[in-house]
A and B are shown apart, each in its own frame.
Chain A
Amino acid sequence: MGKLFAAILTLVALASAYPIVTHMYVQPVDISTHGHAIDEQLSDTMAEAGFAFLGAQLLLALFVWRFSNRKNGSNVKHLPGGAKLMVATAFILVGTEVLALGVLGQKAWADVYFTAPKQDALQIQSQAGQFAFYFRYPGADGKFAALHPDKIDEGNGNYFGLDLANDVEARDDIVTAELAIPVNREIQLLMHAKDVNHSFYVRELRIQQDFVPGLDLSVHFTATKTGKYEIVCTQLCGLGHYNMKAYLNVLSQEDFDKWLREKASEQ
């Protein structure tokens, strides 16, 4: 039974590690400027975790193999070094891991959150509501008009609650259901929640940030590859949560300008 346990455990441990080592999970391509730091962090952690995982499981298997249901059973012996060795090992192993990954890994986090957006970053506002994302571009005056929740009228396309009748700044704002951005240009995404918590997640951008009702949050990023990428909601927001998505369309600067002009004329 001991040998069976050891064998099955070894099999399970190796089978668990296999898809990781062979990269069977398909991690999406990184299209952001800050993403490589995150990806590096992830693969470093994976290596350390893999080492710890396999080491522990195989050691467990080995000891169960060697020390179970022994014939001359009464001769139990103790690991040389005893508890002190285990404690020291834990501190050294984990201590160095924590140092390496925790401390050195701060940079990846700082890249996203502790750097201010550039002065000429393109500001786009996004609104998350049950169960769709909408986006607003400031238009020719470069200003975002004030929002009035009581004026929201989805039936007539007034998703943000703009006071089109009285507010001059509102009339040139461009509202779309798709987030188109120019490539290689820093974007500052202002995030507004209409009703409950939502979240903005684009796997390829390595960005995830919750929308919180009542809070003015924003993220900034730069996309480095053109293409169409899915934006999905990752904070449970109700029955339509699974279907709440939009598209991030990274375009060349020319194509983006053309797109924006088209959208402006459609308003």
Chain B
Amino acid sequence: MEEAVVQTTHVHAPPEGFIRKHVFSLDHKVIGKQYFGLALVAVFMGMALSWLMRFHLVWPNTKVPGLDLLSSTGAPGGVITPEYYLSLMTMHGTLMVFFVLTNAPFAGFGNYFLPIQIGAEDMAFPRFNMMSFWVTFVAFLVLILAFFIPDGPPISGWTAYAPLSAVGKDAGPGLAWGQSLWAISIAIFCVGQLLGSLNFIATTLDLRTKGMTFMRMPICTWAWFITSAIGLLAFAVLLPACLLLLLDRMAGTSFFIPSGLVISDRLQNHAGGSPLLWQHLFWFFGHPEVYIAILPAVGIVSHVLITNMRKPMLSAKVIIYSMMSIGFLSWMVWGHHMFVSGMNPSSSLLFSFPTLTITIPATIITLIWLGSLYGANIQLNSATLFALGFVSMFVSGGVSGFFLAQPSIDIYLHATYFVVGHFHMVMGVAAIFGILSGTYFWFPKMSGRMMNETLGKLHFWITFVGTYCIFMPFHYLGLAGNVRRYSSFVNDFMAPLMPVHKFISIAAFITGAAQFIFLFNLIHSRFRGKQAPENPWNATSLEWSIPSPPPWDNFGGKHPVIYHDPYQYGVKGSKGDFVMQDSPEQV
């Protein structure tokens, strides 16, 4: 392997001491692992919250042993109150969307692998990078604090619509300090994400090594780059929104609160605000946010599939341009969350067109995946299984989106379980599958050890079938008109639907339990797994050209030179069936 030995000016000195190496580290790899660890904690918390929710929906008067210790007002005697259900739901959504789906696939894997895949020694701004993680960590702590205050966490959902979220404690429990902590936490989170996105963009633009043109970057690098561009602009809008919300709550302003509201028999002292303004600001952020959640997974899955198909995609360029169009279109569709919100009905029609149009690049990507599988030589390890599972879930979730994109159908399906089924399929399952696929794929590189394949496959099968059992029925419930965000189902028409809810809850408990297989595998393999070689998957991208785990400066002070794109698989006449990016071997 030829390497151009250029100057060895390091971005930062080698780390010394435990604190510098593992706590306040400037190393993008450590920061990536820290994000991943935070996401792991958040996802198990979020999952536990969903268990409590599913339990309460089906067995509303049964007590949960020990829950009254966490909140004596929320769950007196261990029985969840309606308001506590809403608190659990709000925290579930907030933790999952922000601290899992924005952290793990993007900040976690992206931080770890983006610099390596472009041949850089570290991110462009290592200090900002370290700050971004610790800021995110502080945001996490502030959010969790809401569980432990007397009034409890907020009950307004992760979407925190005003005026419910803006007027304060008159509107209900959890809406005093709980809601404020939520807004503060999310505002801090925005700052962390902005610092992170800054790093990703500057690094990708300027720190690519010699020969690494844009089109030679792996698809997942592109996905992180596009995601960071979206994130930069999206979080830059959420931050002002949260600030304005905090001002309404604490400084008596009326950005979102109109006059004449009577809550808890008290006339609210506000005037002139617009509840729809919050919705516009929130969803202007919120819709790109869901693409921030899915695009890295699209990139990771493409990367894993290419390696394990032993052939390139039909066209990586088309996938990349499709991801860019999804990113671009994502800014124009936010109103589809607001079709029946009281917004001008003409606007609703206007928003539905780009929403339907986004189907095109998404379909292109899916068809390229499917078409590329034709004639492949698929290696079915755990990473591949989750990647293929992602394709299946992406189709399922995408197809249900097609219904919701049409305002006339949305009249019937809005705020029903159909919507909940749709976004869980794409975010709660597909994006998670992307993260899991990446984990199984990159664990050997990050830790120097292999994960247990048998446990991995077991984890896959239970999760794959389990998540279909949980979330497919949500769609049927929605079609029957089952309303969402209800802590109990007391409507007349709900009685015949309860057996479906029972089925879902049981499936949820089983599938959730299976995640502990993954956790065990993760921890056990970290310490007892088989030693991993440098390139266990015979892959071509740069991360596989360095030791497992990589040294602190990735390439040992050298700058690799790139000769190929990362799709040289199935190459005739080469040693093995692949050629690495930094190999001067001609193809």
State the A residues within 8 Å of B (CB).
1-2, 5, 8-9, 12, 15-16, 19-20, 24-28, 37-38, 41-42, 45-46, 48-49, 52-53, 56-57, 59-60, 63-64, 67-70, 73-79, 81-83, 85-87, 89-91, 93-95, 97-98, 101-102, 105-106, 108-109, 112-114, 129-130, 149-150, 152, 154, 161, 194-197, 199, 201, 203, 206-215, 217, 230, 232, 234-243, 245
Instruction: Let me know if A239 and B275 touch, CB within 8 A.
Output: no
Closest to A240 in B: B82
Residues of B within 8 A of A199 (CB): 340, 415
**How distant is the Cα of A214 from the Cα of B262 in the complex, in angstroms?**
12
Are B476 and A20 in contact (CB-based, < 8 A)?
yes
Q: Once the chains bind, are A49 and B400 in contact (CB under 8 Å)?
A: yes
Residues in B with CB closer than 8 Å to A208 are 340, 411-412, 414-415
Q: How many residue pairs bridge A and B at CB < 8 Å?
A: 315
A82 to B318, CA, bound (A): 11
Q: CA A130 – CA B172 in complex, angstroms?
A: 10
CA distance A108 to B315 in the complex (A): 40
* Chain B 425-450 interface residues, beta-carbon cutoff 8 Å to A: none
- The distance from the CB of B453 to the nearest CB of chain A, in whole angstroms, is 11
Q: What are 25 contact pairs spanning A and B, CB under 8 A?
A: A1-B380, A42-B412, A57-B396, A60-B388, A68-B380, A69-B380, A74-B377, A83-B313, A83-B318, A86-B314, A86-B371, A90-B364, A97-B402, A105-B408, A154-B265, A199-B340, A199-B415, A203-B412, A207-B411, A208-B415, A209-B342, A210-B340, A213-B275, A238-B83, A240-B82
Question: When chains A and B are docked, how far (Å) is the Cα of A38 from the Cα of B276?
Answer: 26
Known interface pairs A150-B267, A242-B488. Does A67 touch B374 (Cβ–Cβ under 8 Å)?
A: yes
Residues of chain A lying within 8 A (CB to CB) of residue B264:
130
**A242:B82 contact, CB within 8 angstroms:** yes
Our pick among B172, B262, B356, B357 for the contact of A194 (Cβ within 8 Å) is B262
Report if B515 contacts A (CB, 8 A): no
Could you tell me if B156 and A83 are in contact, using CB atoms closer than 8 angstroms? no
B385 contacts the other chain (CB 8 A): yes
B272 → chain A closest CB, angstroms? 8
Contact of B377 among A46, A57, A76 (CB under 8 A): A76
Q: Is there an interface contact between A102 and B353, defined as CB atoms closer than 8 Å?
A: yes
Q: A93 — nearest CB in chain B belongs to which residue?
A: B363
Note all chain B residues with C-beta closer than 8 A to A20. 476
Q: Given B171, B366, B402, B461, which contacts A238 in the complex, CB threshold below 8 Å?
A: B171
* Interface contact B485-A241, CB-CB below 8 Å: yes
B399 contacts chain A at the CB level, 8 A cutoff = yes
Q: Which of A45, A129, A197, A215 contacts B164 (CB under 8 A)?
A: A197
The 6 closest A-B pairs by CB, nearest first: A214-B258, A83-B315, A108-B408, A77-B375, A113-B345, A239-B83
Known contacts A83-B318, A149-B260, A56 near B311 by CB under 8 Å? no
- Which of B156, B262, B314, B493 interacts with A28 by CB under 8 Å? B493
Q: Is the CB of B370 within 8 A of A194?
A: no
| Interchain CA distance A196-B155 in the complex, whole Å | 13
User: Chain B: which residue is nearest A35 at the CB level?
Assistant: B412
Chain B residues within 8 Å of A238, by CB: 83, 86, 155, 164, 171-172
Is the C-beta of B161 less than 8 angstroms from some C-beta in chain A?
yes
* CB of A202, distance to nearest CB on chain B (Å): 9
Interface residues on B, range: 35 or more
Residue-by-residue, is B334-361 near A (CB-CB < 8 Å gives 1, otherwise 0)?
0000001110010011001100110110
A76 with B570: CB separation less than 8 A? yes
B250 at the binding interface (Cβ < 8 Å): no
Query: Does B233 count as interface, using CB distance less than 8 angstroms?
Result: no
Which B residues touch A67, using CB under 8 A?
Answer: 373-378
Taking a contact as CB atoms under 8 Å apart, the answer to whether B476 and A64 are in contact is: no
Cβ contacts under 8 Å, A2 to chain B: 378, 380
* Nearest chain A residue, comparing its CB with the CB of B375: A77
The interface residues of chain B lying within 8 Å CB-to-CB of A207 are 411
B540-561, CB < 8 A from A? none
Known: A73-B377, A196-B171, A239-B82. A213 touches B406 (CB 8 A): no
Cβ of B360: which chain A residues have Cβ within 8 Å of it?
A: 90-91, 94-95, 98
B455 within 8 A of A: no
Task: Give the Cβ gap from A31 to chain B, nearest Cβ, in Å.
Answer: 13
Q: Do B364 and A16 touch (CB < 8 A)?
A: no
C-alpha spacing A215/B343, complex, angstroms: 10
Bound complex: CA of A106 vs CA of B488, how far in Å?
35
Contact status A8-B406, CB under 8 Å: no
Chain B residues closer than 8 Å to A86, beta-carbon distance = 314, 318, 364, 367-368, 370-371
Q: Does the CB pair A239–B172 fall under 8 Å?
A: yes
CA distance A67 to B370 in the complex (A): 12
Q: Quick check: is B457 within 8 A (CB to CB) of the other chain?
A: yes
Partner of A230, one of B340, B373, B492: B492
Assuming the A-B contacts A214-B274, A214-B275, A239-B173, are A161 and B262 also in contact, with contact meaning beta carbons closer than 8 angstroms in the complex?
A: yes
B90: shortest Cβ distance to chain A, in Å?
9
16 extra interface residue pairs, beta carbon distance < 8 Å, beyond A19-B476, A52-B399, A90-B364: A25-B477, A53-B399, A56-B366, A68-B377, A83-B371, A98-B360, A108-B408, A113-B345, A113-B348, A194-B261, A199-B415, A206-B411, A209-B340, A214-B259, A214-B274, A238-B172
Q: Are A69 and B378 in contact (CB under 8 A)?
A: yes
